[in-house]
Structure 1
Amino acid sequence: MRPLPETVPFFSQWETPDMTLAVLADGAEAALRRDPLWQGSGAATLDEYAVWAANICGMACLKMILATRGEIVPTIELARRCTGHGGYVVSAGSIKGLIYAPFVTFVQAEFGLEAKVMTNVAMSDIPAILQRSRFFIASVSSSIRWPEREPPSKGGHLVLVTSASDRLFRFHNPSGHTSATQANAVLAPSDFDRFFANRGIAVSF
């Protein structure tokens, strides 16, 4: 195992990280067509970027994991490769995914990562999971960026949990809207639990 750096690099699912509020206001495809950094995503065209970027929170989490060991792969390149393993299903302009089991196959085959789909996970299980695995990609409500609010539902978005204890959860949120809700966002376990859908993927090198 390679030595780990002190911090886990953060990457947004948009190439310009401060575009979250514009995406929420105008819709992803309209807002992201104004992203001046879109080519960094690995998309071949602006259209491809605008369609995909709202669906790649999981690829942003994977990009952060890979970057921790010094490997930088653009998010939409990752999405294309994951689609080849069945991790996304693309039809008539719609994108279904991330589908967990094919994602596990993808990261094992192409990056040599150890990954395991986990369901029926209690919030209190996550500290122990992180003692066995380096990361936990957790399914949460995207409204976790506003922890003072009650989420309309749980799940639908993925964040990268990097540490957890009975006092504090620390995670990277690919669609956070401020610096405090993007890299190294922190919540009390009870607050995290209000957004957590009790499933995710444990990942190690």
Structure 2
Amino acid sequence: MTDSAITHPVPYYSQYESAVMIPDLIAGTRTAGDDPLWLKSGADSREEYAFWAPRMCGVACLRMALDYWGHPVPPSVPLVRELCDAGAYVRDGDTVKGLIYRPFAEHTQARWGIAAQVEPDLTTEALHRHLGGGGLALISVHKTIRHPETTEPPSRGGHLVLAVGATEEALLIHNPSGLPDSSQEFARVPWARLAAFYAGRGVLLG
């Protein structure tokens, strides 16, 4: 670990058009289909948006990276369709396999010229070095990382966040399903707590 603080000024995108709804979605009092801004996603129907929104954490991370590096940012659902065509998501009825790292990385590099390296064994030291070199990273964590200090997750991985900075004490993430004014933008996850959530894999960007 280095002692210097790193913060990349990455714009934040939620996987939901109405990021303020996330506490209600977590509580189960509302569903993605209730999102009043669903049309902004580019979906053809409210049902299409409701299907994909809970599954688009990786899409949100990609949109953040595209914006940060000055590329046009497609709406979320057309982008997920593009990633389906690239093999990064595989839909079978009501189930979806993905985000699949290798086709995602290959498509990202070919389509936008953003270097994308799959890392099945990504140490925190390597992650910190990559951030220090100007890069970003999609990393696999448990969704309860929105409460890093108070939660003991049942497993690691299953949700993608974008690593956007680091200090000696903590990793800074943009969490597509984080809590408003708390754990969405530049959310601080102490390195000592990260291991409980982090699956040790991801995609290095840039």
Q: State the TM-score, normalizing by the size of structure 1.
A: 0.91
Q: Which amino acid aligns with 2:92?
A: S
Superposition pairs for residues 80-119 of structure 1, below 5 Å? 80-119=81-120
Q: Does 1:47 align with 2:84?
A: no
2:83, 2:98 → 1: CA distance?
10
- Which SS does the other structure have where 2:182 is aligned? helix
Q: Per-residue deviation at 1:180?
A: 1.9
1:180, 1:23 → 2: CA distance?
16
- Which SS does the other structure have where 2:79 is aligned? helix
Report what 2:13 is aligned to.
11
Q: Per-residue deviation at 1:23?
A: 1.9
1:190, 1:123 → 2: CA distance?
10
2:88, 2:102 → 1: CA distance?
7
Q: Which amino acid aligns with 1:161?
A: A
1:106, 1:117 → 2: CA distance?
12
Deviations 1:146-180 (A, max 9, x none): 11111111000000001124322111000002222
Report how many aligned residue pairs link the two structures.
198
**58-67 vs 17-26, which deviates more?**
17-26
Superposition pairs for residues 1-205 of structure 1, below 5 Å? 7-26=9-28, 31-70=31-70, 71-132=72-133, 134-147=135-148, 148-204=150-206
- Which SS does the other structure have where 2:13 is aligned? coil
CA contact 1:124–1:166 (8 Å) conserved in 2: no
Q: State the TM-score, normalizing by the size of structure 2.
A: 0.90
- Which SS does the other structure have where 1:96 is aligned? strand
- Which SS does the other structure have where 2:108 is aligned? helix
Q: Per-residue deviation at 1:82?
A: 0.6
Structure 1: segments with no counterpart, 5+ residues: 1-5
From the two aligned structures, give the one with the greater helix fraction. 1
Deviations 1:116-168 (A, max 9, x none): 00022222331112234510111000000011111111000000001124322
Q: Which amino acid aligns with 2:85?
A: G
Structure 2: segments with no counterpart, 5+ residues: 1-7
CA contact 1:12–1:173 (8 Å) conserved in 2: yes
CA contact 1:127–1:166 (8 Å) conserved in 2: no
CA contact 1:161–1:171 (8 Å) conserved in 2: yes
Identity %: 37
Deviations 1:90-139 (A, max 9, x none): 11122111000010111112111110000222223311122345101110
2:21, 2:93 → 1: CA distance?
26
1:84, 1:174 → 2: CA distance?
23
1:49, 1:58 → 2: CA distance?
15
CA contact 1:116–1:201 (8 Å) conserved in 2: yes
**Dislocated runs of 4+, deviation >4 Å:** none
1:165, 1:125 → 2: CA distance?
14
**80-89 vs 160-169, which deviates more?**
160-169
1:26, 1:62 → 2: CA distance?
27
Q: Which amino acid aligns with 2:152?
A: E
The CA RMSD measured in Å over matched residues stands at 1.7
2:16, 2:169 → 1: CA distance?
31
